[in-house]
Structure 1
Amino acid sequence: MTPQASNQGHSVAALLRRAVLAQQHQRMDEAAQALHAARAAFPHDGDVHFAIANFLVARKQPAAAIAQLRRTIAVEPGFARAYHNLAILLKKQGQLPSTSVMLARAVRLDPTLGGSLITLGDVRLTLGDRIGAQRVLERAALLQPGEARIWLLLGYLAKGQDEPERATVGFGRASVLTPSNSVARLGLCMSRLPILYDRAEDIEQARRHYASDLEALVSSVQLDDPAAVAAAAEAIGSFQPYYLAYQERCDRSLQEIYGRFVAGVMAARYPHWATRPSMSPRLPGQPLRVGIVSGFFRWHTIWKLMIRGWMGGLDPALIQLHGYYTGNVRDACTDQARARFYRFSEGLPFEEMAATIRAEDLHVLIYPEIGMDPMTAKLAALRLAPIQCVSWGHPDTTGLPTIDCVLSSDLMEPEGAESHYSERLIRLPGLGIAYEPLMVEAEPIDFTKFGVRSSATVYLCCQYVSKYLPQHDELLAYIARAVPNSQFLFINPRADGVTDRLRRRLKNVFNDHGLDAEHHIVFLPYLTPGQYTALNRRANVYLDSVGWSGGNTTLEAVSEGLPVVTLPGQLMRGQHSSAILRQIGVTETIANDRDHYVAIAVHLGTNRGWRDAIARRTRLGCQRIYEDMRPLRALENLLERF
């Protein structure tokens, strides 16, 4: 406060008090007059300018309020709360970098501003500055240990860094402080499912903890309590059991508990969308109205595997496609979908999207995946069409009673797979999808700068790190011992902490076998599509992950003639690559057991003639995938029968 204001503070205080009382009684003209008088009498008083800014916020004039807060700071540069309020307005406008700067200034001026610290941590987390977010949130926790939001954000941070113990502490504290906080309870539950495991025995322990916390989550929400139901419905999709599928186990029983819970919550919150609508009759010659809901109408694995094939191959005379885009990233793929679909809805909030889908009176609704996109998770728990199906974009049962069928692949499903699903299993012919080759030009890239030796026999291990379970690490060591100049190329998932853990895990296994992991293991940075094409051409052998094999990555590898070594698992997601190899007619590299897997990999790495022969047959055999229209025709027939 300036000296003038200090000397005549009673006048300033009186005018500001009058303005506040007038605002409280909605006498806005009187409040404006009082503030005008205060500014005229005390033009250099920071409190006056700050009060005017708050008045403009109350009048819903954010641009004017921002300008006024900047004047406040110009008059009184040390006014910490002005920086805070300015930051909040900038945040609402999406100006996150500027928000971070203003909040940092606020807490420098007043380190006790816990609210500023919390919001700064949230913003830095959104901007990807995990270290900065961690630092300020830990300070906030010391100041306000009873503030649940701090612990919730610390839980988010720890989960993103794959630190389950810290994540459970954060989410656990948040749920104790606010027992009705369903986001915290969901986070606690899902933090039991880490991205990566250090030991094989950790998988069973994680599964037990997850099951226990899942039961606690279910019992924490009373479906006859509207407030609890509303909070739980809002939380659904914020965390999902995505990493459960990576444990190499049948998940049906656990997924059914989760599925019944979310469907029950959504039915209680939205009863008008909870009952199955009747199937509308069709006039002769009228196409079937089929909706596709996805957060991935863009360059993404789901687009490559499912959406573009359905979009380009289903007969528009039979099937009228309606698209519902729940994501917010748009590219050339989005433009293609917008042009091809009869109707294409995008950019809608959840309730408006649900209402739109239901109003279009669809016959069938298809989700390419359920488990990866937040809004899709909420929509799929409702009954928006008479028949609702999921495909194998995230190849695990949903457990949702609202999903009737899973559209799968006859070649990928093992015998007796019906018991793996809560949904009715539909085995479409071949791979179950219509797949065309991706037309991606290779970009020049020097792999030697990443440590790849020009003379090395390169085994490509390109799956997401979660697919590499510790019980299978020694397979790489066996291959390396037999192929001394081998290198195994992994791709960094842009989570350095997770990569470091996998690197340490592999180093320990290689050390146990008397091998130098640094000589054999290389982690490449995240690659552009063109660089990834170049990687497939540089590699000598594609080494499939065991338990959950490659899907789109295998299809991209075989298109370049890269030999694939795979060991089929017990579940559908462990048989993607073996199905692809059977489709193209190259079955010699499908292993019968772990020893056979190693033997095939070693033979490909040491016998150039056999490897080249497999590569030629692989490249030629791809036409059997690209020309296979049976999945499309079978899907059309299935949809017609519904």
Structure 2
Amino acid sequence: MILAWLKKRRDALQSASNPIAPRGHDTSAPPPISAPPGPLALYLAGQITAAEQAVLTQQSIEADDPDCLLVQGLIALDKGLKADSLRILERGVSLHPTNSEMQVALGRALVLAGRGNAATAAFRRALALDPGHAGANLNLAKQALASGREGDCLPLFQAAINRDPSLAEAHFHLGNLFRARGDMELAEKHYRKATSSRTDYEDALANLGSLLKDRGNSEEAIQHLEHALRIKPDISEAAFNLAMIRVNQRMWPEARQWLQNSLIANPKQADANYWLGNASMGLGDASAARIAYQAALRLNSNYVQARWGHAMAQLPAVSADKAEQDHAVGAFAAELDKLKTWFRVHRPNHAYQAVGAQQPYYLAYIPNDHREVLSQYGALCTSLMGPWARKAGVPAPVHGIGSKCKIGIVSAHIHEHSVWRALVLGWVKHLDPAKFELHIFHTGSGRDAQTELASRLATRFYHAQGNWPEWASVISSARMDVLVYPEIGMDATTVRLASLKLAPVQLASWGHPITTGLPTMDAFVSAKALEPEGAAAHYTEQLISLPDLGCYYHPFGLSPTRVDLQQWGINKTDRILLCAGTPFKYSPCDDALWIDVAKRCSPAKLVFFRATPSALADLLETRLRKAFKEAALDFDAHVRFIPWQSPSNFFGLLDQADVYLDSVGFSGFNTTMQAIERGTPVVAWEGEFMRGRFASGILRQMGLDEWVASSHEDYAVLVEKLCTNKALRDSVKHQISARRSLIFNSTTAVAAFAQEVTSLVGQTRN
């Protein structure tokens, strides 16, 4: 800190060494010889060694020079030399008792020595000598703050900046005080003044960045936080806040790096370890995630989100091999049992905070029936949310008033998204407004033209209502007859809300196509064309199978952009086999299938896609490379991973593809519908569960059953037939073009949905 008096002395010293020529003076004459800068000027300029030498020189002339004693005392203070600073400054005050700056410096030395009362007396003497003295007020304020007397320190900080508006430290502390009081406008104002006065004030830069992050100004926050860390790389809070910005942006590599930096500076951070676990899961590194969650729990055993996360991290996004995948389900079930026991024994008041912190999302991408384990998971979710609901006073659900049935749709994806296009759009456009009031609760942040469409068509549209407890209050107060959750399992807010009973009838659907396991869900809305025989046994909910594909689907109608395939090393002679699933849709159980397809169809390129960040695609590529190598097949001659494409580019790729290859085990609904829109031949897999039967259901609905496979060999043979026979491909394209009207723009399923809803609501009213 540069005290007000010292700044004035510095300016005076600089003026004395650079005198301005008086009027009439001949400026062409040589300038007068300036005296060398004194010890105080050198100290203030940061030339400490030169200042010490100047002190010795000056003291040889005048041993008790006040500037010399002051500089010696300040240098000792800077070095943390308690005894030396106190001895020098006590002597300085005894020789120069009317020097207010010497009194302030002595006060600082007394604080360093732990003599608070004596320090206060020195600061008050400085104020008696110079009423309103900035440094004295500042240091008295800091003493009050350290003693917990926040009410006393506020006027003292204000008095300090009244005397010296550029006093950065006072502005910094005022910013902290106003932020603690919730006055973010004033806090930001003072942080900005602190950083304006001292551009290298790393603590103020860090706090300003943190505040801006909390206020949603991420880009400017990043600038200040990075500036603070350039000055002082070990500010753990700044690194943590940078990480949290990147977490919100789903920039997992950057988030993980900043969290690791924060932990290097301060390893004992449970929060940083927890979020490191989440970032690692975002990068598909489940092993690192488990280690990070365990580190958080060692620091805080009651960290329920970390405990929950550790259980969910048993499920890898992209398994390295079949053994890891097979182990995952059992490990998840075992950890879920431990979770249930821990919550039953410890009963923490904040247990509900675990729900939705992470979700068993990747379980759906592992083959087999997971009804039993998801039933246990769902029961645990509702058991933890129930006490919160009772404490928060969430009322029992009641029907709405009026003649119309009130349907609420709760989704984080009321924008251009697969869930919106496959499911919600049809309800929004085609439920009869004469019979239904449609209320949309858009819990996500995305907003685009589809969001605006939804807001126009809905009876009432809710968006940006706050956090999930506020959403629970809004939804409960709206008194819906039925709530529909299209994609439970894909979003934290919706799974928390779905774990409550906020309406008399609550429905899930196949935006995330697997049973929710939640006892709060009355039914699961599916489709006859997508479900196998005996499908009801796969669900904890009552299964409702709507006619046909169970939805209204409107094609994109985009103009395709022709893409240059050669930029990715795909030759003109290569057959193009599009594999458009996300990386976690490709199970290691099916790696041999892609090898067989590559062998049969050569010259060909199996084209996979790499989204940003590319970590999950990297994991899939690594595993496939290994499998191809073990099969003595050149991976690079047969496979390409290309960047994720815009819709128009993807349509252009579909036009150039020989075959669209359905992902096995977890099929692609929207991508298959897009392939059909462009007339691209599709080979589909018919899986054991609904999530593996989207493409097969679509093809069967069009009467193209011959392109549906139920074994690896059949699948590879069908792909080979198509890609090696142009006439056959052209015939299939013609059939697709002639029959695609059977699956587009049909309102049959919406009408059936309306009937089912009306019946369910009627049953609960009686």
TM-score bracket, normalised by the shorter chain, equals over 0.9
Residue 2 of structure 2 aligns with which residue? 2
The question of whether the paired residues in 1 share the 8 Å contact of 2:555 and 2:677 is answered with yes
Residue 374 of structure 2 aligns with which residue? 255
* 1:451-470 C-alpha deviation (Å, 9 max, x unpaired): 22222211111011111111
**Helix, strand or coil at the partner of 1:324:** strand
Residue 312 of structure 1 aligns with which residue? 429
**TM-score, structure 2 normalization:** 0.78
Residue 277 of structure 1 aligns with which residue? 397
The whole-number CA distance in structure 2 between the counterparts of 1:15 and 1:280 is: 62
Residue pairs, 1:450-599, within 5 angstroms: 450-599=568-717
The whole-number CA distance in structure 2 between the counterparts of 1:233 and 1:26 is: 36
Shift of 1:390: 0.8
The one of 161, 169, 190 aligned to 2:312: 190
Which has the higher mean CA deviation after the structures are superposed, 245-254 or 494-503?
494-503
Residue pairs, 1:59-138, within 5 angstroms: 60-127=182-249, 130-138=252-260
Shift of 1:20: 5.4
Distance 1:238 1:514, change over 3 A: same
Residue 140 of structure 1 aligns with which residue? 262
Two-structure CA RMSD over aligned residues (Å): 2.5
The whole-number CA distance in structure 2 between the counterparts of 1:291 and 1:43 is: 55
Alignment of 1:238 onto 2:360? no
The one of 460, 475, 481 aligned to 1:343: 460
Which has the higher mean CA deviation after the structures are superposed, 404-413 or 63-72?
63-72
Shift of 1:214: 1.6
Residue 440 of structure 1 aligns with which residue? 558
* 1:44-90 C-alpha deviation (Å, 9 max, x unpaired): 65433433444444565544443433443444444332222222222
Distance 1:71 1:468, change over 3 A: same
Alignment of 1:609 onto 2:731? no
The one-letter code of the counterpart of 2:455 is R
The one-letter code of the counterpart of 2:515 is T
**Helix, strand or coil at the partner of 1:221:** helix
Which has the higher mean CA deviation after the structures are superposed, 101-110 or 239-248?
101-110
**Helix, strand or coil at the partner of 2:409:** strand
The one-letter code of the counterpart of 1:247 is I
Distance 1:38 1:424, change over 3 A: same
The whole-number CA distance in structure 1 between the counterparts of 2:479 and 2:191 is: 50
The one of 285, 293, 303 aligned to 2:410: 293
**Helix, strand or coil at the partner of 1:626:** coil
The whole-number CA distance in structure 1 between the counterparts of 2:578 and 2:346 is: 53
Which has the higher mean CA deviation after the structures are superposed, 602-611 or 67-76?
67-76
Shift of 1:189: 1.5
Distance 1:529 1:273, change over 3 A: farther
Shift of 1:507: 2.1
Shift of 1:31: 4.5
Shift of 1:533: 1.3
The whole-number CA distance in structure 2 between the counterparts of 1:351 and 1:395 is: 26
The whole-number CA distance in structure 2 between the counterparts of 1:534 and 1:344 is: 35
The question of whether the paired residues in 2 share the 8 Å contact of 1:56 and 1:65 is answered with yes
Shift of 1:383: 0.7
Residue 328 of structure 2 aligns with which residue? 206
Shift of 1:43: 6.0
Alignment of 1:35 onto 2:163? no
* 1:366-423 C-alpha deviation (Å, 9 max, x unpaired): 1111011221111111111111111111110000000010011111111111111000
**TM-score, structure 1 normalization:** 0.93
Shift of 1:556: 1.1
Ranges in structure 1 where 5+ consecutive residues have no aligned partner: none
The whole-number CA distance in structure 1 between the counterparts of 2:494 and 2:241 is: 28
The whole-number CA distance in structure 1 between the counterparts of 2:729 and 2:573 is: 16
The one-letter code of the counterpart of 1:352 is E
Which has the higher mean CA deviation after the structures are superposed, 39-48 or 91-100?
39-48
The whole-number CA distance in structure 2 between the counterparts of 1:203 and 1:278 is: 44
Distance 1:405 1:74, change over 3 A: closer
Distance 1:594 1:191, change over 3 A: same
Residue 358 of structure 1 aligns with which residue? 476
Which has the higher mean CA deviation after the structures are superposed, 487-496 or 465-474?
487-496
Distance 1:346 1:74, change over 3 A: closer
Distance 1:632 1:22, change over 3 A: same
Distance 1:177 1:26, change over 3 A: closer
The one-letter code of the counterpart of 1:346 is H
Which has the higher mean CA deviation after the structures are superposed, 104-113 or 397-406?
104-113
Distance 1:281 1:562, change over 3 A: same
Equivalenced residue count is 635
The one-letter code of the counterpart of 2:644 is Y
Residue 341 of structure 2 aligns with which residue? 219
Higher relative contact order (CA 8 A, sep 6+): 1
The question of whether the paired residues in 2 share the 8 Å contact of 1:190 and 1:210 is answered with yes
Shift of 1:165: 1.1
